[in-house]
């Protein structure tokens, strides 16, 4: 049974463009992860500040293996560097405005039913 992992990013209005630019230039490595099934970046249009990073995996184990992997680290290297820069430690190589997201939260679901359009 597939599992859905949604990373919920709180993004202030002023940082939306920056966040979307980062995802447009993302590492693109998740596609090669074992057990990876789906990814979507979802932009809020209802007045909230929460973007959803929707991912679906063959199993919990596959998701956890990706989180521990080099690919996850590389896919988040810029986000990490920016966070470091914002907190005043290290040598952040970001754009100097800190991380695009001001908070994040991970949601986990099991897929119970799903459908795709009839051919
Ligand atoms: C501290 C928490 C996290 C923050 C602030 C964050 C933020 C970001 C940002 C800004 C990017 C764009 C790439 C970049 O800037 O280098 C990114 C990529 C991505 N994030 Fe996260 N992320 C976090 C954790 C997670 C988690 C737990 C998941 C699992 C659902 C996830 C899923 C993804 C995926 C699939 C990509 C694209 C990576 C690729 O192309 O290989 N993120 N994230």
The confidence score (pLDDT) of residue 33 equals 97
Asked if residue 16 lies in contact with residue 97, where contact means CB atoms within 8 angstroms, the answer is no
- What domains can you pick out in the chain, each with its CATH number? 3-83+100-110 (3.30.70.100)
The model carries a pTM of: 0.87
Q: Each residue of 14-35: pLDDT tens digit? A: 999 999 999 999 889 999 999 9
Average pLDDT over residues 70-89: 76
Asked if residue 67 lies in contact with residue 75, where contact means CB atoms within 8 angstroms, the answer is no
The CA-based dihedral angle spanning residues 25, 27, 28, 29, taken in that order and rounded to the nearest 10 degrees: -170
Q: Which atom number of ligand 1 is nearest to the Cα of residue 39?
A: 35
DSSP symbol at 5: E
Between the CA of 1 and the centroid of ligand 1 the distance, in Å, is: 23
Q: Is the CB of 29 under 6 A from ligand 1?
A: yes
Instruction: Please tell me the residue having the least CA distance from ligand 1 atom 25.
Output: 7
Instruction: Please tell me the residue having the least CA distance from ligand 1 atom 1.
Output: 104
Phi, psi of 50 (to 5 degrees): -105, 110
Average pLDDT over residues 66-79: 91
The confidence score (pLDDT) of residue 85 equals 67
């Amino acid at each position: 049974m597939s599992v859905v992992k949604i990373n919920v990013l709180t993004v202030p209005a002023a940082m939306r463009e920056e966040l979307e630019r980062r995802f447009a230039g993302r590492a693109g490595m998740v596609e090669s992860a074992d057990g990876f099934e789906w990814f979507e970046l979802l932009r809020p249009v209802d007045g909230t500040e929460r973007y959803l990073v929707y991912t679906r995996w063959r199993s919990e184990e596959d998701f956890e293996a990706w989180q521990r992997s080099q690919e996850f680290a590389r896919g988040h290297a810029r986000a990490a560097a920016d966070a470091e820069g914002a907190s005043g430690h290290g040598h952040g190589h970001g754009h100097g405005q800190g991380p695009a997201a001001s908070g994040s939260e991970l949601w986990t679901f099991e897929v119970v039913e799903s459908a795709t359009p009839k051919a």
